[in-house]
Structure 1
Amino acid sequence: MPRASRVMPMLSVADMAASRRFYETILGGRLAYAFPPEGEPVFLTLSFGETEIGLGVLEEKGVHGRPLRPASGHRVELCINVDDVDTTLSALGAPIVMSAIDQPWGERAAYVEDPDGNLIMLVAPIG
């Protein structure tokens, strides 16, 4: 049976500069790849430890020929582990969907929206 060797979420973004600032500058992602390599990228990947996220400029349809956004709602949310949820929440300046709350599974969690309205769950261990 074939086995996957890597899974990387890729988000379609309307404003690459705003999204890059959110994920790279504020959340600390490290640029791993950019296309084109010179000038303003239309696609890039950012590393967070051993994981990566891809950001691609939103077009009407992707290379697969299908629309890149659902008609309503959202299809994916990202869970990002941070050192301190409350400090990160105030530093982001992003719209808060759910304030920081201690969860019964042992993490403090909050939800924000990124510049494109994608839901981001920020989590850190309690204590």
Structure 2
Amino acid sequence: MIESAFPIVEVPDMEAALRFYRDALGATVVYRFPPDGEPLFATLQAGSAQLGLGLAEGATAGEGAGMLLWFYVDDVDATTRALSDAGYLVLEEPSDSEWGERVALVSDPFGTRVRLGQPIAPQPDEE
């Protein structure tokens, strides 16, 4: 039986990936290989979760790739605006969902869809 899962996003450009996930979204690099020089692999701490980035020549993602990353952030509107200002593609502007979260959809530099979420206060069933 599965004991745990660890998503790894294969990317063709590690520095561009780190600029998005580390610099723009605020994840922290907790492991990199090799320790010196250009990394081939990095583990990022994203809140209470970890995400791996692996250098893979010719890696592609994008619409229809069958993968979506979801990050809860403290302010969906501000995070989406900051990503847009940094030149990242916003696929869906922030909006309130019927299930009680404010959400937006952006793209990393390689086309991986990244959903940003934030609980709405009060939740719809708490009104």
Q: TM-score, normalised by structure 1?
A: 0.85
* Map 1:18-29 → 2, pairs under 5 A: 18-29=16-27
**Contact 2:60–2:110 (8 Å) recurs in 1:** no
Is 1:123 the counterpart of 2:114? The answer is no
- In the TM superposition, 1:1-127 aligns within 5 A as 2=1, 4-59=2-57, 69=60, 73-93=64-84, 94-127=88-121
How much identity, in percent, do the aligned residues show?
Answer: 41
Deviation at 1:69, TM superposition (A): 4.5
How much has 1:21 moved relative to structure 2?
Answer: 1.0
1:40-95, CA deviations, whole angstroms, 9 ceiling, x for partnerless residues? 101111001221001011225xxxxxxx557x721210010000111000111220
Letter of the aligned partner of 1:11 in structure 2? Answer: V
Counterpart contact for 2:108–2:114, Cα < 8 Å? yes
CA RMSD of aligned residues (A): 1.8
Contact 2:42 2:54 in 1 (8 A): yes
Within 1, Cα distance between the matches of 2:22 and 2:4? 21
**Separation (CA, whole Å) in 2 of partners of 1:69 and 1:92:** 21
CA-CA distance at 1:6 after TM superposition: 2.1
Q: How many equivalent residue pairs?
A: 118
